[in-house]
């Protein structure tokens, strides 16, 4: 696999963006409609909703600020920690997890649907840490920068990512069939690396949820799972 292809697989999630739920030819379930309304409601500044807009200016809320960013863009560990400290991150991640569990993202275009699903799942992986104050998103960016123009895929990239590789591979399982195949190819090629099948701990991911029986982290941590767990996070 050449460098450009590897970069596409490892860093392709930086291109994801939420577009819409369903298509004009597909019935959208009541659950999905409600979750979409929940997302829209999060974007409304609470003080403005109560008191009205002052001076004709809409004040950016924590939720609108969060959703204007790509949580997988390269940042320093401090920068990623600040993003993960956004007061709206928990509700946003839980809502998108519920939307994935309810299969809210559908359509005829595989790549468009994958974009939607990857955007929703990015809130699962975006705050995954491999140490107390070290983020996988930062490590991936640093590793690819350090690899240079000539590198060993397994020794210089996958091995350096440690548990972040498997966590990222699980995140990318929400993408296209081709992406899944490519990530599995890398895993099989580098199968001699110790612990390659072990994701990072859920103890280092405050926002991880069970999505269609997939965790981006090691589910041995204390994590609410499934649709019930997500709904408890949202409405409990």
Where residue 14 falls among pLDDT bands split at 50, 70, 90? very low
In a domain, 54, yes or no: no
In a domain, 52, yes or no: no
For 56-73, the pLDDT digits (tens) are 566 678 888 888 889 999
In a domain, 111, yes or no: yes
In a domain, 144, yes or no: yes
In a domain, 197, yes or no: yes
Global confidence as pTM:
0.81
In a domain, 203, yes or no: yes
Domain ranges, residue 86: 3-11+29-41+59-235
Per-residue pLDDT for 227 more than 70?
no
Mean pLDDT computed over 16-21:
46
Where residue 1 falls among pLDDT bands split at 50, 70, 90? very low
Task: Output 209 or 1, whichever has higher pLDDT.
Answer: 209
Domains: count for the chain: 1
How far apart are alpha carbons 215 and 1 in whole angstroms?
Answer: 27
In a domain, 185, yes or no: yes
In a domain, 51, yes or no: no
């Amino acid at each position: 696999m050449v460098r450009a292809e590897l970069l596409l697989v490892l860093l392709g999630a930086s291109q994801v963006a939420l577009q819409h739920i369903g298509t004009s030819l597909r019935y959208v379930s009541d659950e999905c409609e409600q979750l979409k309304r929940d997302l829209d409601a999060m974007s409304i500044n609470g003080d403005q909703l109560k008191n009205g807009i002052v001076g004709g200016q809409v004040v950016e809320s924590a939720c609108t600020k969060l959703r204007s960013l790509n949580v997988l863009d390269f940042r320093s560990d401090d920068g990623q920690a600040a993003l993960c400290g956004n007061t709206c991150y928990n509700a946003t991640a839980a809502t998108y997890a519920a939307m994935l569990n309810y299969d809210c993202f559908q359509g005829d275009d595989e790549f468009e649907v994958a974009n939607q699903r990857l955007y929703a799942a990015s809130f699962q992986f975006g705050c995954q840490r491999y140490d107390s104050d070290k983020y996988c998103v930062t490590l991936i960016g640093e590793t690819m920068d350090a690899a240079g123009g000539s590198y060993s895929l397994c020794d210089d990239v996958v091995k350096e990512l440690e548990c972040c590789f498997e966590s990222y591979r699980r995140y990318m399982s929400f993408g296209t069939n081709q992406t899944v195949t490519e990530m599995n190819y890398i895993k099989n090629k580098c199968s001699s690396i110790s612990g390659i099948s072990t994701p990072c701990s859920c103890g280092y991911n405050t926002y991880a949820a069970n999505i269609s029986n997939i965790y981006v982290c090691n589910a041995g941590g204390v994590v609410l799972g499934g649709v019930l767990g997500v709904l408890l996070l949202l409405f409990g």
